[in-house]
């Protein structure tokens, strides 16, 4: 995990001179981030530096940007706007924030403001908004279709990240707002050859932690971007992703299932049908009817037990436990 620096930011030197600069360079380095050939114009006026990146070659893509540093306020402040097109997402995100979860070609638009006496304080004060769209990439380390297939076979230990696994997609997009260093999102959409997924949640940039809920759904076709599916088709199990973004915990989201009886019933039906295809049907029936509280098993005297049958939510909750 990257530790944001607590070293004091001092922009008072910006007020010592006024200047206008125009520069073309073969490379720009900022910490781990590196660019290719870029063109920069900068104006320094009364302690405020405005730098316009009119041409920015960045990780096999291109873009423009503007960064403003204000050294006249009591607390150092900055504002930034970036428009990036076709950048290689994995190396950019890894160099920028040690985030190595997504690969593909990305278009990213972001506007940020913040103030702080250190890098850590500034990141914790970030405000802004943005949008990203990834194409022809993958969620690295997770094979969502395999996880879901494993669930249908009663394998519940597959919800872990593995370096060689991935979930391919043709499209991954989302918009977000940032308040006090926390990015909020409600409209994530992923389209892949074997999975569709929506999601919402937040990412704490300062603490590098994620708290996110996703709803992946396995689809039965190999169509890519632009495919239209019946939203009721395929197995759907909500997933909760929490913890440090370098190593989050990924588990079925039982709370959401409990709040959506229709979703739980649909998942129980599909998991149940798949389990019943297994060879040892007697054990499967015991699993669904007995251990899971299905309510259909016979009492010792051969009669049906008294009381209400367990709901689909309760069955699935016990299955995923």
Residues 80 and 167 in one domain: yes
User: What domain range includes position 304?
Assistant: 263-321
Q: Does residue 309 fall inside a structural domain?
A: yes
Q: Count up the domains in the chain and report the number.
A: 2
Does 276 share its domain with 316?
yes
Residue 99 and residue 218 in one domain: yes
Residue 184 inside a domain? The answer is yes
- Domain assignment present for residue 6? The answer is no
Q: Is residue 295 part of a domain?
A: yes
Q: Measured between alpha carbons, how far is residue 10 from residues 67, 118, 123, 128 in Å?
A: 16, 9, 16, 23
Distance CA 71, CA 55 (A): 25
Which of 242, 262, 282 is the last residue before a domain boundary?
A: 262
pTM (two decimals): 0.76
Please indicate, yes or no, whether residues 271 and 129 belong to a single structural domain of this protein: no
Instruction: Tell me, yes or no, whether 76 and 205 share the same domain.
Output: yes
Residue 305 domain-assigned (yes or no): yes
Q: What is the pLDDT along the chain (321 residues), one digit of tens a residue?
A: 567 889 999 888 888 888 898 988 887 877 788 888 889 899 999 999 999 999 989 999 999 999 999 999 889 999 999 999 999 999 998 888 788 889 999 999 999 999 999 999 999 999 999 999 999 999 998 888 777 766 656 555 556 677 788 889 999 999 999 999 999 999 999 999 888 999 999 999 989 899 999 998 887 654 444 444 555 566 788 888 999 987 888 887 877 777 777 776 776 676 666 555 555 555 445 444 443 344 344 444 444 444 444 555 555 555 555
Q: Is the residue at 4 inside a domain?
A: no
206 and 320 co-located in one domain: no
199 in the same domain as 267: no
81, 140: one domain: yes
Q: 274 and 216 in one domain?
A: no
226, 247, 262 — which closes off a domain? 262
The DSSP code sequence of 51-73 is EEEEEEEETTEEEEEEEEEE-SS
Residue 252, number of CB atoms within 10 A of its CB: 21
Please state, in angstroms and rounded to a whole number, the distance separating the CA atoms of residues 219 and 153. 17
- 205 neighbors 182 (Cβ within 8 angstroms): yes
Do 31 and 111 lie in one domain? The reply is: yes
pLDDT for res 79: 97
Q: Is residue 148 part of a domain?
A: yes
């Amino acid at each position: 995990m990257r530790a944001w620096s607590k070293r004091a930011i001092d922009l008072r030197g910006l007020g010592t001179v006024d200047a206008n600069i125009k520069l073309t360079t073969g490379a720009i380095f900022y910490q781990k981030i590196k660019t290719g050939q870029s063109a920069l114009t900068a104006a320094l006026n009364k302690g405020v530096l405005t730098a316009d990146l009119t041409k920015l070659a960045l990780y096999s893509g291109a873009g423009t940007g503007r960064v403003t540093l204000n050294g006249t306020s009591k607390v150092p402040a900055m504002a930034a706007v970036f428009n990036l097109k076709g950048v290689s997402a994995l190396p950019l995100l890894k160099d920028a924030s040690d985030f190595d979860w997504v690969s593909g070609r990305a278009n990213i638009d972001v506007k940020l403001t913040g103030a702080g006496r250190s890098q850590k304080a500034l990141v914790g004060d970030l405000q802004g908004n943005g949008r990203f769209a990834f194409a022809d990439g993958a969620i690295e380390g997770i094979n969502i279709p395999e996880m879901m297939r494993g669930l249908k076979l009663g394998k519940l230990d597959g919800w872990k990240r593995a370096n060689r696994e991935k979930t391919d997609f043709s499209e991954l997009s989302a918009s977000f707002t940032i308040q006090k260093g926390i990015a909020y999102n409600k409209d994530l959409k992923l389209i892949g050859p074997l999975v569709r997924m929506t999601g919402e949640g937040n990412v704490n940039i300062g603490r590098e932690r994620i708290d996110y809920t996703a709803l992946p759904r396995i689809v039965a076709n190999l169509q890519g971007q632009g495919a239209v599916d019946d939203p009721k088709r395929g197995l759907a199990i909500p997933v909760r992703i929490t913890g440090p973004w370098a190593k989050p915990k990924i588990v079925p989201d039982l709370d959401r299932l409990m709040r959506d009886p229709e979703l739980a019933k649909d998942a129980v039906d599909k998991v149940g049908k798949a389990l019943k295809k297994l060879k040892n049907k007697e054990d499967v029936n015991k699993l669904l009817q007995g251990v899971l509280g299905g309510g259909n098993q016979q009492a010792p005297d051969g009669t049906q037990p008294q009381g209400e049958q367990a709901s689909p939510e309760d069955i699935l909750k016990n299955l995923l436990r």
